A = this chain, B = another copy of it.
């Protein structure tokens, strides 16, 4: 019974290492060989696990996205449970920024950076990226809908529309974070964004 378990573990280790490398070096800057070396897998074995680099990356995107969504949901039912929707949004963006700052801005949102780099080259990855983004939008849309019900957010836009705008500002603000190697501009942008969405 050792073999299949080891195989599953190796697959997971490849995915974890792949996410790390892609987050820092991007699609074209990541070589499969580096990842295999790190996980101690012989070169020929890669194709036992994944059909191609493209299929590997598409799977990584899905994995990264599900993991993040899992963390968001854990936060909402755990430490964030008693916060207002505005406080929840703030806690989520501050937590993300802390993580990005802690590794010297080397990593950012993998979905945003992959979308920018390869969605026009790989239809397989583009579809996975779009699916990830839609799941996150659904998550944020629910937060905004709850906030609207509580009279916190403006009601001249739907919760879906607000979520789409909020998500765009977040991804754009992360670009500014990378340019300025600083989280302050993102915080400023996200607070401005939130304040334009509040009910006056």
> Once the chains are docked, how many angstroms separate the CA of A118 from the CA of B27?
12
Tell me the count of chain A residues lying within 8 A, CB to CB, of chain B: 53
> Once the chains are docked, how many angstroms separate the CA of A25 from the CA of B193?
32
Name the B residues within 8 Å of A28 (CB-CB): 25-29
The 8 A CB mask of A157-173 against B (1 = contact, 0 = none) is: 10001101101111111
- Residue A106 is within 8 A (CB to CB) of chain B in the complex: yes
> Contacts A164-B185, A200-B200 hold; do A175 and B126 have CB atoms under 8 A apart?
no
The 8 A CB mask of A167-200 against B (1 = contact, 0 = none) is: 1111111111011110001001100110111001
Closest to A127 in B: B179
- Residue A141 is within 8 A (CB to CB) of chain B in the complex: no
Name the B residues within 8 Å of A173 (CB-CB): 168, 172
> Once the chains are docked, how many angstroms separate the CA of A200 from the CA of B118?
40
Q: Mark A residues whose CB is within 8 Å of B.
A: 24-29, 104-108, 112-113, 115-121, 126, 129-130, 133, 154, 157, 161-162, 164-165, 167-176, 178-181, 185, 188-189, 192-193, 195-197, 200
* Contacts A126-B181, A130-B179, A170-B172 known; 15 new A-B pairs at CB < 8 A: A29-B121, A104-B120, A106-B120, A115-B175, A116-B117, A116-B174, A119-B179, A120-B178, A120-B181, A129-B179, A154-B196, A165-B169, A168-B168, A168-B189, A171-B172
